[in-house]
Structure 1
Amino acid sequence: MTHTRVHTYITFANPYLVCSACGQPVPRWHDDTKCGCAAGWWNDPCGHRADFDSVCPSWDPVDGCQCAEKLGHVPHPPAPQQQ
């Protein structure tokens, strides 16, 4: 008998989140409560069990990044393109 499991990931609305442990972009996290894994949660794709920080101080869920309009210029990476 073969058992397979599909991992469940939750995608963040804020595309400017980075892992506080390594600084890599964190577009989503593994939710062990939804897929039944015993492995716990982790940031995807880096795999760290760490908090995350936003590198865009003006991001909000309605208007997105407003740095140019509100703050002039804030150096942060562009948001990944939605597919």
Structure 2
Amino acid sequence: MSATYTRTHVYLPFADPYLTCELCHRWVTGWHNPDKCGCDEPVTNQPCSCRAGVTSACPSWSPVDGCQCAQQLGAVGHGVPPARTELLYRKTATGGSA
């Protein structure tokens, strides 16, 4: 969650750390849910703020075992996503965090 001067925005994290935005191809850690915070802003990927779908860069990721590319495919064909703390919050133009 992040606070602005008027409300607290709700961001829901994704479990899969290998998700990328279909529009800008940056790592995505969650999405903004305007239904939960009551704002008029659209549903957006976070932290890129694009209004697009997401695709998993890891074809073998599971919530139990994580990335299994090396074991199942013999090699890891994708990058390593940054830690969630590096991506979840971004600075806004007004100096707050979103």
Would you say 1:55 and 2:85 are equivalent positions? no
Would you say 1:70 and 2:72 are equivalent positions? yes
Structure 2 residue matching 1:33: 3-state secondary structure? helix
Contact 2:31-2:44 at 8 Å conserved across structures: yes
The 1-side partners of 2:27 and 2:84 are apart by 15
Aligned residues: 81
Any gaps of 5 or more consecutive residues in structure 1? none
- Within a 5 Å distance, the mapping from 1:2-81 to structure 2 comes to 4-81=6-83
Any gaps of 5 or more consecutive residues in structure 2? 86-98
The 1-side partners of 2:32 and 2:72 are apart by 33
User: Structure 1 runs of 4+ off > 4 angstroms?
Assistant: none
TM-score, reference length from structure 1: 0.89
Aligned residues with identical type, % of pairs? 51
Structure 2 residue matching 1:53: 3-state secondary structure? strand
TM-score, reference length from structure 2: 0.76
- The root-mean-square deviation of aligned C-alpha atoms, in Å, is 1.4
